[in-house]
Structure 1
Amino acid sequence: MTLSPEQRVELYGFNNLTKTLSFNMYDICYTTTKSEREAYFHYIDDQYNADRLTNILSNVSDIIGAHVLNIAKQDYVPQGSSVTFLVSEGPVIEVPNGSFAESPGPLPDAVVLALDKSHITVHTYPESHPDEGISTFRADIDVSTCGEISPLKALNYLIHSFDTDIMTIDYRVRGFTRDISGHKLFIDHEISSIQNYIPDEIKNIYHMIDVNVYQENIFHTKCKLREFDLNNYLFGYTKEKLSSKEVEEITEKLNLEMDEIFYGKNIQ
């Protein structure tokens, strides 16, 4: 629901509500040898190094109308990167109409939102299984805003910025603000599901589950690709080079890995 200017609640002072979007993604690969694992991690470090992650967060800042105050970034040895943005409110006078609407947000060529004091962070975690030949790349992104704007408008762009097999998305509203009479407000917009901020073409290719605690303003959605193509998980070769038994064994291992990550528990 979007409030018109005449419906908008008049607040006493600054809107102190803190809204945080946590976007967690996984890319999974089957690597049979040490050299394949090293090549995969080299590829990941090249694709998601601190400079490229900085560019992604810069676009997120543009989408939500943030003014960047400070950037800290680091590439780690042997692998992994971190980037942190400290941002403040951009030079806008009022929140554009429709900013609370439950709909997918823009890609970076359409800047429509603004926010108050905030931070945006990303950390990456490449890792590999010691025995089973599974290598996994994980990226965690937090977009935390104070004020009237929800960081959910950056979700569409974040999904398009990563090659993602599994996504775990959390949105929560913390704190309170007050109306002009002093009455506390613990959320300033209606939300039924994070899925309403994800475009249909993305929802069509992922299996999605919601776990929401409405009374606590906590919303959780996890997503796993519906279709499985083994060639998308082999690094440097295709399944045509494998025997039928190898195809079956590798497919079973990959599906088990994805199911355990998706459901958040060990299945075997």
Structure 2
Amino acid sequence: MIKNPKKFKLKLQGFNNLTKTLSFNIYDICYAKTEQQRKGYIEYIDDVYNAERLTQILTNVADIIGANILNIARQDYEPQGASVTMLICEEHTFLDPLSNEQTPGPLPDAVLAHLDKSHITVHTYPESHPDNGISTFRVDIDVSTCGLISPLKALNYLIHCFDSDIVIMDYRVRGFTRDKSGRKHYIDHKINSIQNYIARDTKALYQMIDVNVYQENLFHTKMMLKEFDLDNYLFEIQVSDLSKYEKDKIERYLRREMMEIFYSENIPKV
């Protein structure tokens, strides 16, 4: 692992050919009791996270990581779901140099777009359990860049753009770039965990697990909310309208769904 080129002025032979890719899934879990409520939840998600809204989110991502948008393609699907793809290129700026330092990027308050050898994509997948009322909204996001810019600075922003109950992330640096002496470099910044790019207040809300393969420049982090408030998971239902038996049953369904997604395995019913 080499030192940060911003500080140590690594002199390259030509263009920085490293490809940095951040891929992650964000899950929002909900309980919708009736078929009509489940349909309403899907329609709500489709409206809130339509292609136009997703395009604005990805545009903000491009700004955060210091990229110029070259092209955008977006699509809303029937009966549900949306996709946006962007092509981008690195934006050179002298007033605010690009940085890959292990510090969190901005929060939200601080489609297909084409970048030059780089891209950002987002796809949404709303779905419902056929029997027990659980509905799950999944967002798949890929931010792939070439050159100095890194997608990690947008991570903090993206987590807060969605109701993120569970976040599963992979960061990979591929290829190599060559310095003036001809020596190959397989990574151009220090990193020991994706968690270093997430704000402290955000990390306090989640249970987190790392699985990293340092020699392959491959980093994996999973996050699941620690606190569980049933009110936050009910669609068009009030906790006060439920019996203790119903509350316990719904909470059990929700917790099982979250655990299965977090650990990527089905849990037998008790």
1:75 corresponds to: 76
- The aligned residue for residue 27 of structure 1 is 28
- Counterpart Cα distance in 2 of 1:116 and 1:226: 40
Secondary structure at the residue paired with 2:195? helix
Q: Which residue of 2 aligns with 1:42?
A: 43
5+ long unaligned stretches in structure 2: none
Superposition deviation, residue 95 in structure 1: 7.5
Contact 1:95 / 1:148 at 8 angstroms: preserved in 2? Answer: no
Displacement of 1:92 after TM fit? 2.6
Q: Are the aligned partners of 2:108 and 2:161 in contact in 1 as well (CA < 8 Å)?
A: no
Shift of 1:262: 0.3
Q: What's the counterpart of residue 223 of structure 1?
A: 223
Please name the residue that 1:87 is paired with: 88
> Does the 8 Å CA contact 2:70/2:116 hold for their aligned counterparts?
no
| Residues 140-159 of structure 1: pairs in structure 2 closer than 5 A | 140-159=140-159
Provide TM-score, normalisation by structure 1: 0.93
Aligned to 2:266: 266
1:25-78 deviation line (CA, Å, top 9, x unaligned): 000111121100111011101110000000000000111121111111000011
Residue 4 of structure 1: CA displacement?
Answer: 5.1
Structure 2 counterpart SS, 1:212: strand
Residues 90 and 149 of structure 2 are in contact (CA less than 8 Å); yes or no, is this contact kept in structure 1? no
Counterparts in 2 of 1:56-75, with a 5 A limit? Answer: 56-75=57-76
Contact 1:70–1:86 under 8 Å retained in 2: yes
Amino acid at match of 2:71: N
Alignment of 1:110-259 (within 5 A): 117-259=117-259
Change (3 A) 1:95 1:3: farther
Q: Distance in 1 between matches of 2:229 and 2:91?
A: 44
Q: CA deviation at 1:9?
A: 1.7
| Residue type at the aligned position of 1:27 | D
CA distance in 2, matches of 1:242, 1:40: 19
Distance in 2, matches of 1:129 and 1:60, equals 32
Partner-residue secondary structure (3-state), 1:211: strand
CA 1:13–1:108: 2 relative to 1, 3 Å: farther
Q: Secondary structure at the match of 2:250?
A: helix
- Point out where structure 1 has 5 or more consecutive residues left out of the alignment: none
2:212 is paired with a residue whose SS is coil
TM-score normalized with structure 2 length: 0.93
The answer to whether the 8 Å contact 1:121/1:142 transfers is yes
User: Is the 1:30–1:135 Cα contact (8 Å) retained in structure 2?
Assistant: yes
Deviating above 3 A after TM superposition, structure 1's stretches of 4 or more consecutive aligned residues are: 1-5, 107-110
For 1:94 and 1:117, locate their aligned partners in 2 and report how far apart those are by CA, in whole Å: 24
Q: Partners of 1:23 and 1:95 in 2: how far apart?
A: 27
The equivalent of 2:104 in structure 1 is 104
Identity %: 66
Does the 8 A contact of 1:22 with 1:171 survive in 2?
A: yes
One-letter identity of the residue aligned with 1:83: V
Q: Partner letter of residue 150 of structure 2?
A: S
CA contact (8 A) 2:16 2:148 kept: yes
Instruction: Name the CA distance, whole Å, in 2 between partners of 1:42 and 1:69.
Output: 31
**Equivalent residues, number:** 262
Residue 149 of structure 1, CA deviation: 1.8
- 3-state SS of paired residue (2:221): strand
Q: How far apart are the structure 1 equivalents of 2:193 and 2:226?
A: 20
**Offset from partner CA, 1:85-123 (integer Å, 9 cap, x none):** 0111224359716x121010124676xxxx964100000
Cα distance in 1 for residues equivalent to 2:119 and 2:5: 26
Q: Distance in 2 between matches of 1:125 and 1:95?
A: 37
Counterpart of 2:226, as a letter, is R
